[in-house]
Structure 1
Amino acid sequence: MDFQKIKEFFGSERVTELLASGWFFPAVIVGVILFGTMLLGGGRDDNKEPFTGNSLVAGRTYYIWVGEIAVYDVDWSNRAWDSNGTGPDLYYELYSGNSMVFSSDVRTDTLVARWTPVGIDYMDELTTMLAGGKGKSSFEEFIQAGLFKATVDGEVGLRMKDNDFIDSTWAGLWGLPFEALHEGENVFTAEYSAPVYGGGDSGLEVQTNGNAVQSVVVYVIPADGMVDYLKLQLMQKHGGY
């Protein structure tokens, strides 16, 4: 790898200005999305209303991700999230049955965590490109979401946790039936509750899970419409729609 080339690239006047402005990495993400759009094109009929709350169709494949998790100010055992007084380091996992199909990045020291459906390992991608490589070979690798095939009686398992140094503390363990979801944005709220213990040899086994999650925003987009969804988001954000 030509590290001198990388050093000169990041030391150039233009890149220095972009880094200082805060627009360098957003520009990389936008470029990745646009490049993928050119490669893949649109997956839905342009005459159809996009993502207007349509019910999920059994047998169809969807991208599902969490856009936001808001938790209460104590964990589900009614204790401070962290011993040093900081907020939880939140992340979530998506399950299909007993199989985990997606795990998010961690958002540190916050009661409200947010994620986007497109991610990129900046340095890895940039250094690969600068070294003369082609970068990530598939646009799908940038999508930060789980792929699910909807079923009549199935559900999405959502496990939300605080990423502690030794172990992860539960924030919430939810099941979201496909029939309760629709295309686009889905908002769910829940009351705080402590777990109920009892039974087993110790009498300390959890009989009923607690909940320290106040609200969750879940997004569901048909897999064949993901590129169109990203194009729409870009156009709306930049006033081109």
Structure 2
Amino acid sequence: MAPLLLANISARSVANKLSKSSIYEKLLELKDIPFLEEESPKALTHRMLHARDILSSRPLVKLPSEVEVAHLVQILKDYSSHGQFPVLHGEQFIGMISQSDLLVLLAHKGLFYSTADKGSDLQATHRTITHSELRRMYPDGPSLEDLEASLTEEDKSCYLDLAPYVQIAPYTFDAHGSAERTYELYRTLGLRSLIIVDNNAQPIGEVTRRDLYSFQQEEGSEKMKAA
């Protein structure tokens, strides 16, 4: 035990002299992932902010449950930084769908159906794929450029039914809820994004890790100035 203890103490002493940050903090920096502290920034509490006050500046792009292929491709091109999209059936928010799932669906042309089929029984006019089929292309999914090149004009005029593939009951938070509670919920659940909804349960925006991290950075800057 003595040699092991001596080696561990020596390694820790050398590491602390080289850098005060742990290897996990360095990995987060390399991957450009903001780390959220356990306690929420005081700015969220002192300013009495609500969830609606800290929404992400990037637009919330909503998709209809029945979407035209050409429109879907254009959305994915214009908003390539969006990892997931809320899906609405009419005015009802039914869930979220990831960008990777959308790309896999576009690769299955058998799921497309024409406008002539749109008014008839969807179960009879086009098929669906199972969850295992949807995940079969992971981790090497198709690229949007390759998919767009493979689509004909007839394909682009067809429709896709997204309803069977959405993540139902995603985590949401009321727009009038406190920003502090938003931070706690986001960090505790380890979310990628949190959808903010209004009184009618309609999505009005999202809160991302970077939005919350900006308040943490602001608090750190104020402490440095005070020191």
Shorter-chain TM-score: which interval? under 0.3
**Higher helix proportion (structure 1 or 2):** 2
Higher RCO (C-alpha 8 Å, min separation 6) = 2
TM-score (norm 1): 0.23
| Larger Rg belongs to | 2
